[in-house]
């Protein structure tokens, strides 16, 4: 048992987190944990639990929450861990070993790290201490003064630990590590000068001097605008050191930089803002040649004919903005550069390029820095470039107004990063590449999107041939195609694969394909040094908000291929609206694809990456319980009264919302769409030892099994049977055996079905489950009838009718009567068959609603009427049964009923309807 305050206030046990309930109870627990093992007066609890003046009934509220919290802890086995909530001295004490409290462990680790002489050990201890933080301290409690004060104190301690960790990295010479640690915190706390000073120093020592200077200027402006002060001594010294750089670098600094260095050393408060006077008109220096900042053309470029045409067409617009989008590693930059180099002649006034690093871990370049590079390339003297980004952007637009320029803006994060860099000239073309869709750029600047998708297998093999040589690929065509498929058509993955094979010229392509077939190793094999699929996906993901990244990680726990908003919500433990918003963000970042309205999927390699992320222990259980609840709702809509007579699992995790189905067709559509994923969920549940959920999900597929009985259900039912036995649930075992026996009958395996059904009947009787016993007798009767014993079958159904009536289960009684009518018709007892079918049809309290039992009863009634000589009414009843079967998608029933009609009716359209039903059944199978 552990108590967490460094993040959401929570209690975690081996079985998972405790559901603490409302904010007041979490606030109570937080107040007690602020002083573990010490009495906390009721007055202090009031101050912590209410932001304003507590109500008159506050003491009663506190007593109620204490009682509930004590019950929760006791139920979770708190005493075994030395934890007890007791009343003492007019207050309450939470007795506990301090080691169970994350704050205590954090403080001990930080103290130990400070005492370490070995910087490597210190870094390891600081990192372990900081890993205890799950978010802002004391999240999810009342924002009362005592709790806010505690949270702020711990946040200060965390920031101090971050700074000390960065110092430890510096002592080890790992300056890039220090930058990575400091950058995120400096963005979050831009006015904390100690963080900014440390970051400026770390950037400088990491060899990123220009970034260090840019960061100082950014911080200086913020301090002046927000606080009206100059940088302090620590930040000014860091800037001076970065400005001087290595020996001799200071001579290259601009006069403005040297003046700034002198100014910051004075470090005094700003008493008035200084408004810069407009600079004189810039001198445009005549420079030989045409500016060209394009990187070299990509080697081994292949295919993309359609995308190149689309890019050329988009570039024909006036002041064209072409937006090249696609997932990480799909080759957007390669496409843009290949097109740019191929069309160089169309831009006689220059080609400009900037990597906006929107998805890198090195930080984005400052806008003014990109503009400065553009202006220098266009011939503007360094001394005449405006210092402000707005001024530099205005100058850039004025210079581009009458020129034919190509501007390539690579790896853009969002539209706001791009707009100030658009040249705006009528004859200029801008090509933007991004992993995001950037709809804002389409709205405001009429950007023309050019989507880049993965390669088809044929193009993938040709890319491999471009690196490995045509002969090597032709020698193993099937293995090459398999490699392309295992790489998911992603050019980055294909290039990494080709690079590995290129270094091993004697290695067969088939051997590489065999290695990539192992999903646990595939992503690792698709990484080379710091380049690869995993690295690219990591950079994409880290640009997204935390809640979106969290949803993505949970998608990796889905054993299937598609999710909807409800499934995604269940995986992440959130609500459908929030899940849908995250899915849309992931689709915009090309980490998910919406394959149909409201249904999303992940690329195979993206799914493998998502599975490698930490999503917590309960995602699969939440998903399985979501499927059980949703399938029960679908069953209720599709087969009213047959919703699945079994209890939910004891540790069932209810979802925030369960999908509703307005009618039978909606339920049928859900079953059809989810069948494959439900089957995979069953396999995942069984593999995880969640046996109670395994057999329950299979049983909720009953309506789908009825409609598509010949679709090979036996293996799935055998899995459910093994799970029910492992779960030691005789009720579940009897029900699974019943369904399995019926499917075996439909497959013609009558003797095997009889054995299963006999066991089902005996199990149900022993378990005291008359409904399951009745169902087993009904299906057993079908087997007996198939072996030529309709009278014996009828006797079994009569017994089933008795059992159903004894329990008041009208659904099972109707089903027993339906089968009894069938057996009497097969025995030629037409009057008894007609009476029984009519009695069962009278049960239908939803007129106009078709279901499988009703269709089968109408068929029996029609056959009985024919047998009694009433041909016209018999044909009318059979035609009604056929039309209801056709309308509801019950193809098996449609084929059967239309087959009977063809033998007695001369209607010319029957043959066409029969052939169409057979075709639909064949196509579906």
Distance between CA atoms of residues 768 and 779, nearest Å = 19
Residue with token string 């040297």? 258
List, as one string, the DSSP characters of 357-414: -TT-SS-PPPHHHHHHHHHHHTTB-GGGS-SSHHHHHHHHHHHHTTS--EEEEES--S
List, as one string, the DSSP characters of 606-633: HHHHHHTS---S-HHHHHHHHHHHHHHH
Contact predicate 567/620, CB 8 Å? no
Q: What is the mean pLDDT of each run of 10 residues along the chain (925 residues)?
A: 89 83 90 91 90 85 88 87 86 90 90 87 89 87 89 90 90 86 84 89 85 84 80 85 53 38 37 30 41 82 86 89 90 91 88 86 81 87 85 89 91 91 90 91 90 87 84 88 87 83 85 86 74 79 87 92 93 92 88 86 86 86 94 84 72 89 86 90 94 93 83 92 92 90 88 88 86 87 82 88 88 89 89 92 65 88 92 92 87 88 85 86 64
Token output for 237? 């010294």
* Cα torsion angle, 45, 47, 51, 54, sign: positive
Token output for 396? 């850039």
Distance between CA atoms of residues 866 and 774, nearest Å = 30
Residue with token string 């889905």? 558
Is this structure's pTM higher than 0.75? no
Token output for 97? 């070993």
Give the residues across from 408 on adjacent strands. 353, 431
Distance between CA atoms of residues 311 and 452, nearest Å = 11
List, as one string, the DSSP characters of 428-473: -EEEEEESS--HHHHHHH--EEEE--PPPHHHHHHHHHHHH-HHHH
Q: Which of 459, 453, 456, 414 is nearest to 432 (CA)?
A: 414
Distance between CA atoms of residues 725 and 714, nearest Å = 16
Distance between CA atoms of residues 457 and 482, nearest Å = 8
Q: For residue 223, what is the DSSP state?
A: I
Distance between CA atoms of residues 469 and 623, nearest Å = 47
Token output for 51? 């932001």
Which long-range contacts (C-beta less than 8 Å, at least 24 apart) are formed by 79-84? Answer: 81/1, 83/1
In this structure, the strands spanning 320-325 and 429-434 are: parallel
Q: How far is CA 13 from CA 23, 137, 138, in A?
A: 20, 20, 19
Per-residue model confidence (pLDDT) at position 846: 52
Per-residue model confidence (pLDDT) at position 361: 63
Per-residue model confidence (pLDDT) at position 531: 66
Contact predicate 302/459, CB 8 Å? yes
Contact predicate 193/218, CB 8 Å? no
Residue with token string 């109620």? 64
The alpha carbons of the chain give a radius of gyration, in whole angstroms, of 36
Which long-range contacts (C-beta less than 8 Å, at least 24 apart) are formed by 188-195? Answer: 189/159, 190/218, 190/219, 190/222, 191/222, 191/223, 191/226, 191/227, 192/159, 193/219, 193/223, 193/231, 193/232, 193/234, 193/235, 194/163, 194/234, 195/159, 195/162, 195/163
Distance between CA atoms of residues 241 and 212, nearest Å = 10
Distance between CA atoms of residues 561 and 600, nearest Å = 8
At residue 894, φ and ψ (nearest 5 deg) are -60, -45
What residues have CB less than 8 Å from 655, skipping those under 6 apart? 566, 569, 570, 622, 625, 626, 629
Exposure of 628 by Cβ count < 10 A (0-12 exposed, 13-18 middle, 19+ buried)? Answer: buried
List, as one string, the DSSP characters of 833-879: HHHHHHHHHTT--STT---HHHHHHHHHHHHHHHHTT-HHHHHHHHH
Side-chain half-sphere of 467: how many Cα atoms within 13 Å?
A: 23
Distance between CA atoms of residues 240 and 218, nearest Å = 15
Q: For residue 95, what is the DSSP state?
A: E
Contact predicate 679/671, CB 8 Å? no
Reported in sequence order, the residue ranges of 674-782 that DSSP labels E, i.e. its strands, are none
List pLDDT tens digits, range 820-871.
998 898 888 999 999 999 998 888 655 555 578 889 999 999 999 999 999 9
Exposure of 600 by Cβ count < 10 A (0-12 exposed, 13-18 middle, 19+ buried)? Answer: buried
Give the residues across from 87 on adjacent strands. 92
Q: Which of 913, 865, 862, 870 is nearest to 891 (CA)?
A: 913
At residue 135, φ and ψ (nearest 5 deg) are 150, -170
Give the residues across from 804 on adjacent strands. none
Exposure of 283 by Cβ count < 10 A (0-12 exposed, 13-18 middle, 19+ buried)? Answer: exposed
CA quadruple 803, 808, 811, 812: dihedral, nearest 10 = -10
Per-residue model confidence (pLDDT) at position 559: 92
Give the residues across from 11 on adjacent strands. 3
Per-residue model confidence (pLDDT) at position 273: 27
**How many Cβ atoms from other residues are within 10 Å of residue 307's Cβ?**
21
Distance between CA atoms of residues 82 and 375, nearest Å = 69
**Secondary structure of 540-588 in the HEC alphabet?**
HHCCCCHHHHHHHHHHCCCCCCEECHHHHHHHHCCCHHHHHHHHHHHHH
Angle between helices 477-486 and 457-468 (to 10 degrees): 110
């Amino acid at each position: 048992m552990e108590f967490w305050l460094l993040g959401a206030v929570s209690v975690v046990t081996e079985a998972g987190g405790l559901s603490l309930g409302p904010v007041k109870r979490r606030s109570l627990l937080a107040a007690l944990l602020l002083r573990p093992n010490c009495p906390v007066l009721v007055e202090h609890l009031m101050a912590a639990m209410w932001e304003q003046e507590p109500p008159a009934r506050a003491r009663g509220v506190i007593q109620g929450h204490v009682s509930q919290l004590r019950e929760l802890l006791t139920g979770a086995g708190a005493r075994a861990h030395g934890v007890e909530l007791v009343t003492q001295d007019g207050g309450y004490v939470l007795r506990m070993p301090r080691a169970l409290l994350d704050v205590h462990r954090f403080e001990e680790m930080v103290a130990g790290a400070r005492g370490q002489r070995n910087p490597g050990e210190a870094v390891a201890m600081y990192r372990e201490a900081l890993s205890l933080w799950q978010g802002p301290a004391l999240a999810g409690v009342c924002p009362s003064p005592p709790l806010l004060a505690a949270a702020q104190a711990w946040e200060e301690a965390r920031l101090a630990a971050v700074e000390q960790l960065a110092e430890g990295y510096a002592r080890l010479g790992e300056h890039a590590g220090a930058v990575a640690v400091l950058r995120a915190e400096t963005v979050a706390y831009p006015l904390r000068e100690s963080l900014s000073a440390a970051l400026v120093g770390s950037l400088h020592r990491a060899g990123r001097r220009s970034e260090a200077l840019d960061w100082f200027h950014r911080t200086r402006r913020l301090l002046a605008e927000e606080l009206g002060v100059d940088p302090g001594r620590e930040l000014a010294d860091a800037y001076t050191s970065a400005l001087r750089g290595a020996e001799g670098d200071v001579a290259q600094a601009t006069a403005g930089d040297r003046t700034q260095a002198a100014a910051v050393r004075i470090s005094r408060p700003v008493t008035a803002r200084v408004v810069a006077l407009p600079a004189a008109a810039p001198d445009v220096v005549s420079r030989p040649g045409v500016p060209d900042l394009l990187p070299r053309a990509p080697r081994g470029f292949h295919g993309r004919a359609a995308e190149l045409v689309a890019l050329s067409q988009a570039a024909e617009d006036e002041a064209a903005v072409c937006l090249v989008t696609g997932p990480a590693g799909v080759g957007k930059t390669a496409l843009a550069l290949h097109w740019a180099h191929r069309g160089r002649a169309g831009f006689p006034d220059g080609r400009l390029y900037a990597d906006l690093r929107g998805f890198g871990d090195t930080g984005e370049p400052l806008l003014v820095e990109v503009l400065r590079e553009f202006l220098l390339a266009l011939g503007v003297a360094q001394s005449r470039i405006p210092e402000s980004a707005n001024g530099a952007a205005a100058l850039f637009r004025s210079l581009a107004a009458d020129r034919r320029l190509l501007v390539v803006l690579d790896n853009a994060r969002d539209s706001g990063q791009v707009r100030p860099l658009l040249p705006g000239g009528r004859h200029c073309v801008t090509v933007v590449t991004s992993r995001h869709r950037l709809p804002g750029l389409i709205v405001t600047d009429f950007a023309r999107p050019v989507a880049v998708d993965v390669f088809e297998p044929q193009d993938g093999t040709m890319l491999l041939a471009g690196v490995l040589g045509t002969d090597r690929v032709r020698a193993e065509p099937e293995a090459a195609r398999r490699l392309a498929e295992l790489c998911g058509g992603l050019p980055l993955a294909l290039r990494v694969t080709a690079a590995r094979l290129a270094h091993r010229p004697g290695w067969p392509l088939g051997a590489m394909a065999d290695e990539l077939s192992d999903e646990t190793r595939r992503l690792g094999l698709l990484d080379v040094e710091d380049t690869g699929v995993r690295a690219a996906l990591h950079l994409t993901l880290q640009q997204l908000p935390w809640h979106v990244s969290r949803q993505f990680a949970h998608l990796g726990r889905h054993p299937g291929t598609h999710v909807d908003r409800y499934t995604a919500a269940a995986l992440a433990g959130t609500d459908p609206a929030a899940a849908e918003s995250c899915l849309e963000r992931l689709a915009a970042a090309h980490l998910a694809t919406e394959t149909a309205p409201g249904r999303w999927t992940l690329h195979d390699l993206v799914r493998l990456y998502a599975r490698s992320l930490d999503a917590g222990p309960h995602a699969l259980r939440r998903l399985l319980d979501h499927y059980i609840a949703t399938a029960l709702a679908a069953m209720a809509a599709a087969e009213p009264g047959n919703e699945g007579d079994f209890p939910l699992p004891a540790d069932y995790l209810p979802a925030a919302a369960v999908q509703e189905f307005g009618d039978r067709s909606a339920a049928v559509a859900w079953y059809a769409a989810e069948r494959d994923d439900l089957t995979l969920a069953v396999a995942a549940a069984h593999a995880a030892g969640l046996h109670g959920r395994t057999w329950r999900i299979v049983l909720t597929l009953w309506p789908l099994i009825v409609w598509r009985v010949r679709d090979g259900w036996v293996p799935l039912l055998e899995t459910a049977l093994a799970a029910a036995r492992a779960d030691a649930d005789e009720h579940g075992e009897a029900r699974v055996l019943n369904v399995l026996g019926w499917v075996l009958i439909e497959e013609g395996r009558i003797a095997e079905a009889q054995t299963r059904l006999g066991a089902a009947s005996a199990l149900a009787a022993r378990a005291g489950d008359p409904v399951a016993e009745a169902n087993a007798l009904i299906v057993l009767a079908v087997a007996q009838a198939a072996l030529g014993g309709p009278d014996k079958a009828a006797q079994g159904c009569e017994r089933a009718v008795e059992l159903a009536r004894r329990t008041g289960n009208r659904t099972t009684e109707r089903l027993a009567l339906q089968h009894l009518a069938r057996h009497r018709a097969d025995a030629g007892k037409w009057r008894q068959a007609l009476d029984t079918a009519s009695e069962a049809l009278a049960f239908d309290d939803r007129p106009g609603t078709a279901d499988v039992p009703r269709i089968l009863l109408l068929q029996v009634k029609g056959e009985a009427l024919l047998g009694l000589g009433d041909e016209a009414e018999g044909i009318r009843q059979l035609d009604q049964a056929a039309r209801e079967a056709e309308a509801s998608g019950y193809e098996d029933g449609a084929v059967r009923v239309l087959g009977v009609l063809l033998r007695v009716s001369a209607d010319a359209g029957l043959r066409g309807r029969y052939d169409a039903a057979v075709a639909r059944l064949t196509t579906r199978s």
